[in-house]
Chains A and B, each alone.
Chain A
Amino acid sequence: MRFLIAILVLALSWVGTAQARYYDDVIASGVITIGAYKDFPPYSFEQDGVASGVDIEIGRRIAQELGVTMQVHWITPDENLEDDLRNNVWKGHYLDKDTDNPLAMKHLADVMMRVPYDREYSFKRDSLGLLINEHVVLFGPYQREKWQVAFDSKKLDRVGTVAVFQYHPIGVEIDSLPDFYMTSAFAGRMRKNTRHYPNVHQAFLAMTKGKVDAVMGMRAEVDWLLSEAENSQYQLAENGFPMMGKQQWDIGMAVKQTYRELSHAVEGVVDQLVTSGEMDKIYTSYGLRYELPGLYQEIE
């Protein structure tokens, strides 16, 4: 019986926290739901059953400063960011239905991490002139991200330019910008040497098995894989990415448009982490380089 009651309480509290909410509701409930991508190291992933990664760590600090506990809402990525915002921040996924409790709220994140902070994106309009992302507030930039190549020093002395990939195979994540770039830039001259993998981690594994001579991914992903590998055979490249449109971009967060007050509170916490140097420490603890987002670089 006690067991049953415990389950019932758990179930009730789950329903209570199952929707994105107003700031006051978050504080009153004692729990904040942080949305983060599933199996996405070094940003958010599970290590021995414990939620880990820089985004999870930042979520923990947010919860701590607001005086609540963190609950992670794991996000399965859809085809693009608009889909992820709709499924996880403002509307919920259409498959998120509870047959036993049809009136239950959908599972949403109060705050979603790793949402690019880009004014052009925030105010993008559709063909009828309507705002595409009107249901969400994109705020609180906390990191600048860019592309990075790592290579096998037994196969290549150095990677000064991407031209070497006319001759050496390189691994990329399928349907990513590195995929577009390597298969189409310079009239497709690197196309034949572009090898596709489900994610950067798999591409890196292929490099350690000698199947590709280099990998291209996001800087933090590549930093993480190199620090995990602990093998000086694999090194950072110094090349640029000529003709690539988006060389770098800033990462922030998102809340539902109606919960602006929550965004102000969270922004305050994250701003403090960035300016105090705590953010840098979080990244460093995972073996990653940290770069301030554009907003802070301009202030410095």
Chain B
Amino acid sequence: MKKFSGSFAVTALVAAMSVSGVAQAGVTDKDILQDQMTVEDVVSNGLGPRGQRYSPLDMINTDTVEDMRPVWSFSFGGEKQRGQESQPMVKDGVMYVTASYSRVFAIDTNTGDELWEYNARLPDGIMPCCDVINRGVALYGDLVIFGTLDAKLVALDAKTGKVKWKKKVADYKEGYSITAAPLVVDGKIITGVSGGEFGIVGKVEAYDAKTGKVLWSRPTVEGHMGYIWKDGKKVENGISGGKPGQTWPGDLWKSGGAATWLGGTYDPDTNLLFFGTGNPAPWNSHMRPGDNLFSSSRLAIDPDTGKIVWHFQTTPHDGWDYDGVNELISFDYKEGGKTVKAAATADRNGYMYVLNRTNGDFIRGFPFVDEITWAKGLDKNGRPLYNDEIRPGNPSASEDGKKGSVVRAVPSFLGGKNWMPMGFSQDTGLFYVPSNEWAMDIWNEPTAYKKGAAYLGAGFTITPLHDSHIGVLRAMDPKTGKEVWRYQNYAPLWGGVLATAGNLVFIGTPEGYLKGFDAKTGELKYQFNTGSGIVGSPITWKQDGEQYLSVLSGWGGAVPLWGGEVAKRVKHLNQGGSVWTFKLPKS
């Protein structure tokens, strides 16, 4: 009898499991963890939670790519264009993609037909800092989840586009917004926040993907209390960095910045979230002596508890707006017969770092741009050796009302690399880094006003280093720091990379081209002009036995917002807003 009931229980359990499997029918945690190797869908930002942007598909390869043709193009339509920085997702024949102005579209991947569209109603008077872009959705179960310019998370029904839940992550009136694609780890939606110089404090938060209930909140500035919700109750979960006032003067930690505006990656091996943090506030470093933790850093966070496990600060006491948000991509490599659990990141400050991802230890660092002036190099712990004369001036030095001295810093604050994600090929072992070569002149500007009051602004202008190019796509060897090949582009690169087992690396350019390169040699194998600049990240997947590739076209983002010499190179570029999808012709 006992035996019977036992086997009955097992049978019931199996039945229950299969039922729940059917009922879900959507994206599972397993789907997300295995996204990189399951080529029939793309259900995570970065083609897998590590964000390597590598696909094992090889039907489109260096031999066949020249025949690749567009199969459909989908227009976002309307008057709303501007930058299209999204990475599409694909599941069961449907593409889910965000567009500028907090819009989401579901598109039939066979025909390019629109299935539904969601238009977030944005409040009057919001002031997002850097264009009205969005970088993509997260998929979980039957939900499509994304962040809005007024700092909300919105979960839509994947079938209908109707709102299932909506959650305020931060107050847009205080200057917060969300532009990054959320991350899904073990049923949790993990998001950061964006924000300008209004005195915000960055944070990483986890929400229950199904219900939208907040689970934990981790501030990214030293001194702020973290919280975790247990049985619906908000419980203190330790102060970030232990206590306030260690690396900040006065009460500036209360408004320290360090926005987590680019989202993060996740490494299942170590069970760690990796989030980058933005520059410290205020912009002028002379007002805040100290390292200003955890600004311009990479943070490893426990996804279950929201605790900071380790941090690595790329630009302590950041005075150049170098941020530190760039994606940290986990990868393994062999050295002396041993596997090194590493992670790499290419920083706005011009250095690329290889870290031990289990503890944040610095393994090596090297420049990935031609010129760096603000630092002489990195010490054995990866801390920069500053060039003190390249630190932008002290505001008290211009209190006589005159323009402060001009400092020329390389890279410019738009960075050796900005938001655009790099890729890692498991075949070549190389990172493909979209970078830019530009300098900035920066000075204290006393002839400035803000809200009817005299103000001390920072005047700056960005200048290209070369007449021939700003953008450089580089193949970098993380073991040696050597550049293996490069492709130079006239306009700055602002879109993400895709690497494939077809020995190809794809990237879009502001001039509108989707370009494909030989991953080993850098030889240009393919290009197609999409009609507007590309600032999004390409994806590839397999459908009905064929390999597809998609990318967004639509010029915008932060580059056209700045004037000066760089504007001359991009002002002729036309706006747009569309998805282009390609495949090989059927033989």
Q: Which residues of A contact B (CB under 8 A)?
A: 37-38, 40, 43, 74, 76-81, 84, 94-95, 97, 99, 102, 114-116, 118, 120-121, 124, 126-128, 145, 174-177, 179-181, 183-188, 191-196, 198, 218, 243-246, 249, 251
Give chain B residues whose Cβ lies under 8 Å from the Cβ of A128. 563-565
Contact call A180/B452, Cβ cutoff below 8 A: no
* Residues 344-370 (chain B) with a chain A CB within 8 angstroms: none
Give chain B residues whose Cβ lies under 8 Å from the Cβ of A81. 448-450
Give chain B residues whose Cβ lies under 8 Å from the Cβ of A193. 250
Contact call A246/B446, Cβ cutoff below 8 A: yes
Q: Which residues of B contact A (CB under 8 A)?
A: 78-80, 82, 101, 119, 122, 124-128, 132, 149, 174, 196-199, 249-252, 254-255, 281-282, 284, 286-289, 394-396, 398-402, 441, 446-457, 461, 463, 563-565
Give chain A residues whose Cβ lies under 8 Å from the Cβ of B128. 95
Contact call B282/A177, Cβ cutoff below 8 A: no
Give Cα A68–Cα B463 distance, bound, in whole angstroms: 49
Partner of A76, one of B125, B149, B252, B396: B125
- Determine how close the nearest CB of chain B comes to the CB of A118; give it in whole angstroms: 7
Partner of A192, one of B249, B394, B457, B563: B249
Give chain B residues whose Cβ lies under 8 Å from the Cβ of A246. 401, 446, 454
Give chain A residues whose Cβ lies under 8 Å from the Cβ of B124. 76
Contact call A145/B461, Cβ cutoff below 8 A: no
Contact call A245/B126, Cβ cutoff below 8 A: no
- Determine how close the nearest CB of chain B comes to the CB of A57; give it in whole angstroms: 15
- Determine how close the nearest CB of chain A comes to the CB of B564; give it in whole angstroms: 5
Contact call A175/B250, Cβ cutoff below 8 A: no
Contact call A251/B252, Cβ cutoff below 8 A: no
Give the one of A115, A124, A180 with max B CB within 10 A.
A180
Contact call A174/B399, Cβ cutoff below 8 A: no
Contact call B452/A176, Cβ cutoff below 8 A: no
Q: 16 A-B Cβ contacts within 8 A?
A: A79-B197, A95-B128, A97-B79, A97-B80, A115-B452, A118-B449, A127-B564, A127-B565, A174-B198, A177-B454, A179-B282, A187-B396, A191-B250, A194-B251, A243-B400, A251-B452
Give Cα A277–Cα B394 distance, bound, in whole angstroms: 42
Contact call B396/A184, Cβ cutoff below 8 A: yes
- Determine how close the nearest CB of chain A comes to the CB of B341; give it in whole angstroms: 41
Contact call B287/A184, Cβ cutoff below 8 A: yes
Contact call B564/A126, Cβ cutoff below 8 A: yes
CB-based nearest B residue for A116: B449
- Determine how close the nearest CB of chain A comes to the CB of B393; give it in whole angstroms: 11
Contact call B456/A245, Cβ cutoff below 8 A: yes
Contact call A198/B455, Cβ cutoff below 8 A: no
Contact call B249/A176, Cβ cutoff below 8 A: no
Give chain A residues whose Cβ lies under 8 Å from the Cβ of B446. 245-246
Given A127-B564, A184-B394, A196-B254, the answer on whether A118 and B447 have CB atoms closer than 8 Å is yes
Contact call A126/B563, Cβ cutoff below 8 A: yes
Contact call B199/A196, Cβ cutoff below 8 A: yes
Knowing that A78-B127, A175-B199 are A-B contacts, what are 16 other residue pairs whose CB atoms are under 8 Å apart, sorted by A's residue number?
A: A81-B448, A94-B132, A99-B119, A127-B441, A128-B563, A175-B450, A176-B450, A176-B453, A176-B455, A179-B282, A179-B287, A180-B395, A196-B251, A198-B174, A243-B396, A245-B446
